Structure 1
Amino acid sequence: MRRKSHKAPERLYAVRVDAVAAEGKCIVRTEDGVIFVDNPTGGPGVAPGDVVDLRITNKKKQYREAVAEHVHERSTVRTDPFCEHFGTCGGCKWQHIQYDVQLQFKHQQVVDHLTRIGKIALPAIRPILAATPTQYYRNKLEFTCAEGRWMTSSEIGAGREAGAGLIDPRAVGFHVPGRFDKVLPIRHCYLQPDPSNDIRLSVADYAFRTGMSMYNLKVHTGYLRTLIIRTAFPDQVMVTVQVAQDDQEQLTGLMTHLQTSFPQITSLNYIINTKKNDSYQDQDVINWSGKPYIEEQMDAGDGHTLVFRVGPKSFYQTNAQQAHNLYKIARDWAALTGNERVYDLYTGTGTIALFVARQAQHVVGVEYVEASVADARVNAQVNGITNTTFVAGDMRDILTDGFFDQHGRPEVVITDPPRAGMDEAVTRQLLKASPERIVYVSCNTATQARDLGILDELYSVADVQPVDMFPHTHHVENVVVLKKRL
């Protein structure tokens, strides 16, 4: 039998980090090629300008991958992380980088993707639209309740392992990156406003006091699975608890605890999910108390305020304030006069479609998820908007000549696809429909650039506006308006 090699990993000492790359990694350029540096769990975090020691973790033909083991010299773009969980929790990975510098990196990411992948002519790209606020900006968080608490190296080194009974193995928090079975207990999260932290800590405390078991993701035993908290302005709170068995005694105790401890909860719900995974879109949601939804409000201009009903399974932009700015850009660039037929592709719960409806003749929203289409129709009814049609189905199958004949060919298309971008068949159908203008909203500028390269057959990019929806992360939203060439 051939023995495995135990060759020591390659290390580089005192090298300077050059820049930020895709997916939040950093770049080190050497005579032997490019190295992509990741921020591992428990690592020091890396920023451009740092001088670091690297351990090579993977070698490819075109590049190497590494993690930083020590920082010799701190970059001038660094700042002190504000969260005690930085470096272990997988969220807010850029909080050690000054916010104005984060924006520069995100803007450059948009430029790089559109030029290198799209390879199309571009106007000057507008400065990125900064987010305000940069903390407590999310209206939804989902926490995992699991028997699989992540322990720090100091805890393990001290021999205080869960099996010794000195540390409770249960935790309510976020998954540690790369570990489906390990959950970091969160003391304070800076992503969602009050009372999110208090509710999470109270659920954890109740489970510990009563001996309630939490789900074991390896052997699929235990009771409490997930805790989903949604908030909406003003003073609306939705809590949805997911459990693994239909145990009414335990469920009644937990629901009553939440109801009495937090009278500000306006929608309290639960899900009984006996599957081996935590996905719940295919599960029934039971309303325990309050309304089965909360309502987001958005100023649509001209004295109109839109109201969007958001249920436990509804999709709604998690940064509502910045989403409002995003939608205004999309509507302004659609340049509607009231005579246009608009297609809103990947419409979700119809937020963009309803936001532009008063400026259009008619809006057709298309969405794959049937439940989202049902929400969109309800939201249209709630807002008294009658010039919208929402259709459920796969975009590749729906956008046919027959669909255009039935609903009319669009003068304007607004598209906001998922991270995978638009399927090429959808992009080709847009070329065939040839609207005068396309507004492309994207959460992944790499796939957006790919799609723009195809649309370049008929369209020119007229304007580009990056938008920061998620401060302290590498994610960036981008809006592009395309005009048909004469």
Structure 2
Amino acid sequence: MNDAAQAILAILQEKNITLDDLKTLILRESKSKKTCIAILYVKNKQAGETLKNVSHFLLGINGFLVIYSNPLSPASKTTAVLHVSGDNFLEEVIKNRTIKYGFDSFFQNNMPVFENALEIIQKETAGAQCIADLYCGAGTIGICLAEKNQRMIGVEIDEHAALRAKENALSNNIVPYEAYELSAEKTEKEILQKADVIIVDPPRSGLHPKLTKTILECTPKKIIYLSCNPKTQHDDMLLLLQNYTPIKLYGFDFYPQTPHMESLLICFKK
């Protein structure tokens, strides 16, 4: 990865592309497949166009992308894809399931710790007839947990991630699998009423109040809540206490030597 980053920096210097033209350089690696892709976000579209002849082979990696990102926003978001050489995705093997995810999709990067969390979740979902996996991304948690003939439902707001979830379910022979391109708070009662277990893995802001209300109305037997922000998880739990009892709480150090941690909360219907 470092060699690829240095090679990209050398090309930028050679083409006189300055810091004012750039936003972010991200290198992502698959731990199990030992593959790597680089994504360069640029603010200057013309500068990005000059990189169209750069090959991933030259960089010694599996994929190289140049993305134009709106200069009016500080976030590195895709406005237009200017150049793709090689792969625009990565694959990770987790619990004997292969999960493909896009260059701009969220994915856990501490695989050993993530697999420890999955082991606990799998024990808690064993024997469930139907599981709803909300904020499912590329379907990672649900697909890695799914047992034979266990019905799985994935809900994800991002169009590309929801499509990946469907593809990953198909390639791993997870049937039946339903994927809905929806924000979690817009998940209808009819969807959640099918599930006896709900898994939620929300962003740091926690559960949307509309989703909390829907869960309380549908009352699945069990809620499994994986959180990257224990504070918002605590706040959400105070609302869920109306119908649920917290039984188990686990902590995970996904990001060593940082102030961040993940917590896994298991709740049973009263």
Matches within 5 A, 1:61-460: 195=1, 197-215=2-20, 223-232=21-30, 233-243=32-42, 244-247=44-47, 250-252=50-52, 255-256=54-55, 259-260=57-58, 262-263=59-60, 265-273=61-69, 275-277=71-73, 279=75, 281-285=77-81, 288-299=84-95, 305-334=96-125, 336-337=126-127, 339-358=128-147, 361-400=150-189, 402-404=190-192, 408-460=193-245
Instruction: Identify the residue that residue 139 of structure 1 maps to in structure 2.
Output: none
Secondary structure at the counterpart of residue 246 of structure 1: helix
* 1:237 positional shift: 0.8
Secondary structure at the counterpart of residue 147 of structure 2: helix
Change (3 A) 1:359 1:462: farther
Q: CA RMSD in A?
A: 2.2
Secondary structure at the counterpart of residue 316 of structure 1: coil
Instruction: Identify the residue that residue 100 of structure 1 maps to in structure 2.
Output: none
Contact 1:267 1:294 in 2 (8 A): no
Task: Write the letter of the residue equivalent to 2:103.
Answer: P
Distance 1:248 1:207 in 2: 10
Distance 1:386 1:424 in 2: 31
Contact 2:149 2:175 in 1 (8 A): no
Distance 1:249 1:457 in 2: 56
* 1:466 positional shift: 0.5
Secondary structure at the counterpart of residue 470 of structure 1: coil
Distance 1:287 1:384 in 2: 33
Task: Write the letter of the residue equivalent to 1:355.
Answer: C
Change (3 A) 1:273 1:461: closer
Distance 1:214 1:346 in 2: 35
TM-score normalised by the chain length of structure 1: 0.52
Secondary structure at the counterpart of residue 88 of structure 2: coil
- Where relative contact order (Cα < 8 A, 6+ residues apart) is larger, the structure is 1
Structure of larger gyration radius: 1
Q: Unaligned 5+ residue runs, structure 2?
A: none
Contact 2:92 2:100 in 1 (8 A): yes
Give the length in aligned residue pairs: 268
Secondary structure at the counterpart of residue 11 of structure 2: helix
Distance 1:289 1:208 in 2: 20
Distance 2:221 2:86 in 1: 46
* 1:281 positional shift: 4.1
**Mean Cα deviation higher: 267-276 or 340-349:** 267-276
Distance 1:356 1:228 in 2: 30
Change (3 A) 1:313 1:443: same
Secondary structure at the counterpart of residue 285 of structure 1: strand
Residue identity (%): 25
Task: Please list the CA deviations of residues 206-257 of structure 1 after superposition, one character each: whole Å capped at 9, or x if unmatched.
Answer: 3334432222xxxxxxx3332121111232011122232135773146x24x
Distance 1:370 1:209 in 2: 37
Contact 1:347 1:367 in 2 (8 A): yes
Task: Write the letter of the residue equivalent to 2:33.
Answer: P
Distance 2:49 2:235 in 1: 53
* 1:274 positional shift: 5.0
Task: Write the letter of the residue equivalent to 1:374.
Answer: L
Task: Write the letter of the residue equivalent to 2:46.
Answer: D
Contact 2:101 2:161 in 1 (8 A): no
Change (3 A) 1:205 1:436: same
Contact 2:69 2:77 in 1 (8 A): no
* 1:360 positional shift: 6.1
Contact 1:267 1:287 in 2 (8 A): no
Higher helix share: 2
* 1:452 positional shift: 1.1
Q: Unaligned 5+ residue runs, structure 1?
A: 1-194, 216-222, 300-304
